[in-house]
Amino acid sequence: MSAASIQIEVKSQERFYVCQGLYFDIDLVLQDVETGVTKYVLDTKYKAPNLPALSDIAQVVAYAEARECQEAILVYPTPLIEPLDIRICRVIIRSLTFSLVGNLEEAGYRFLEGLLEISFQKYNGE
């Protein structure tokens, strides 16, 4: 199946119950409409670090595992010094930028281009 033929539903602030009284609020979940399979979990960060915090990586890995997903993305307002592209067990964690400075519509388009590039690489085995 090509990436172009997949319809994606975007769920924001999805609550995932871990057990009674404990839950995750996942910023964004991208789910295949046809299969219901979660393709990506995204966690947005509002601080502009040089490197991702280990706690942020652990958090997004936990989100991915909870949703049985192999792709997680940390979203930052500025680019990291070196973009994140690592694997922890079965979860691939990457970083993308959504700039909060300037034209937000243009920033949104740049963010989507980055997400589509990741998807293209994934579905074409790069």
Query: Do you know the residue count of the chain?
Result: 126
Q: At residue 1, does pLDDT exceed 50?
A: no
How many structural domains are present in the chain?
1
Rounded Cα–Cα distance for residues 79 and 100 (Å): 12
Residue-number span of the structural domain to which 40 is assigned: 8-116
Confidence of residue 64 (pLDDT cuts 50, 70, 90): very high
**Segment among 4-8, 45-49, 105-109 with least mean pLDDT:** 4-8
- Name the more confident of 104 and 1: 104
Residue 124 lies in a domain: no
Rounded Cα–Cα distance for residues 19 and 104 (Å): 37
pLDDT of residue 99: 81
Rounded to two decimals, the pTM is 0.81
Q: At residue 4, does pLDDT exceed 70?
A: no
Residue 122 lies in a domain: no
Q: Could you tell me the CA-to-CA distances from 111 to 15, 22, 35, 108, 118 in Å, in that order?
A: 24, 31, 25, 5, 11
Q: What is the dihedral of CA 47, 63, 122, 87, to 10 degrees?
A: 80
Residue 125 lies in a domain: no
Q: At residue 93, does pLDDT exceed 60?
A: yes
Residue 106 lies in a domain: yes
Residue 2 lies in a domain: no
Cβ atoms 60, 45 nearer than 8 A: no
Residue 92 lies in a domain: yes
Residue 123 lies in a domain: no
- Name the more confident of 43 and 51: 43
Rounded Cα–Cα distance for residues 64 and 61 (Å): 5
